[in-house]
């Protein structure tokens, strides 16, 4: 398994992963994201080095994004913190410890920058909230986001 920065050539695979995972979440009743994802939502993040891909041999099987933030939704975080978001692993590869590898990578990435790291999820996704907690993230609070709430977590 290789994790690397996404390149512009990865855009179609990143969009496919995000849209496939969005649909799978909806089918489970999890309101994590609106879809479909569009190229213009992702291109800038790839250009700014904020997008990452997980490769199994040469195929992208997952993606995630890390960017600097001063707030998540309406909640203020530590200044210039890192924000791990849009974590998506193709359904066939879920449950194989890949999410743990993403968390480890992101925590290491932010530590190397000497910055706090945060992430969030739909407040109704108890399974994901438990996953984050078992990986050392501390629940901070629920904050409103459009017509639902997100749970914010701070990294170890």
CATH number of 10's domain: 3.40.630.30
- What confidence score (pLDDT) does residue 148 get? 85
Measure the CA–CA gap between 74 and 144, rounded to whole angstroms.
7
| Domain assignment present for 154 | no
pLDDT digits (tens, 9 = 90+) for 11-27: 999 999 999 999 998 88
A 10 A CB-CB count for 79 gives 11
Q: Are 7 and 63 in contact (CB under 8 A)?
A: no
Q: Is residue 89 part of a domain?
A: yes
Q: Is residue 134 part of a domain?
A: no
First to last CA, the chain: 24
Identify which of 63, 80, 94, 84 has the alpha carbon closest to the alpha carbon of residue 132.
84
In a domain, 111, yes or no: yes
Please indicate, yes or no, if residue 11 is contained in any of the structural domains. Answer: yes
For the chain, residues with pLDDT lower than 70 are none
Q: What is the 8-class DSSP label of residue 29?
A: T
Q: Which domain holds residue 75?
A: 2-117
Structural domains counted in the chain:
1
In a domain, 83, yes or no: yes
- Report pTM: 0.93
Q: How would you class 26 by CB atoms within 10 Å of its CB: exposed for 0-12, middle for 13-18, buried for 19 or more?
A: middle
Closest by CA to 103, choosing from 80, 70, 128, 124, is 128
**What is the per-residue pLDDT for 34?**
73
pLDDT tens, residue by residue, 69-83? 998 877 888 889 999
Q: How far is CA 118 from CA 3, 12, 46, 71, 132, in A?
A: 20, 27, 20, 10, 11
What is the model's pLDDT at position 135?
95
Q: What is the pLDDT of residue 72?
A: 84
In a domain, residue 22? The reply is yes
How far is residue 95 from each of residues 46, 89, 98, 113, 131, measured CA to CA in Å? 26, 10, 7, 29, 11
């Amino acid at each position: 398994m290789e994790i690397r920065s996404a390149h512009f050539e990865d855009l179609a695979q990143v969009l496919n992963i995000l849209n496939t995972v969005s649909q799978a979440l909806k089918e489970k009743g999890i309101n994590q994201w609106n879809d479909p994802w569009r190229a213009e939502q992702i291109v800038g993040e790839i250009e700014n080095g904020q997008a990452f891909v997980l490769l199994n041999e040469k195929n992208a099987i997952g993606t995630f994004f890390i960017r600097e933030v001063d707030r998540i939704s309406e909640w203020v975080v530590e200044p210039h913190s890192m924000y791990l978001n849009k974590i998506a692993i193709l359904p066939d590869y879920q449950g194989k410890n890949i999410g743990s590898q993403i968390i480890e990578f992101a925590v290491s990435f932010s530590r190397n920058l000497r910055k706090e790291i945060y992430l969030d999820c739909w407040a109704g996704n108890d399974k994901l909230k438990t996953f984050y907690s078992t990986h050392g993230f501390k629940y901070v609070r629920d904050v409103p986001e459009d017509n639902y709430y997100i749970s914010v977590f701070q990294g170890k």
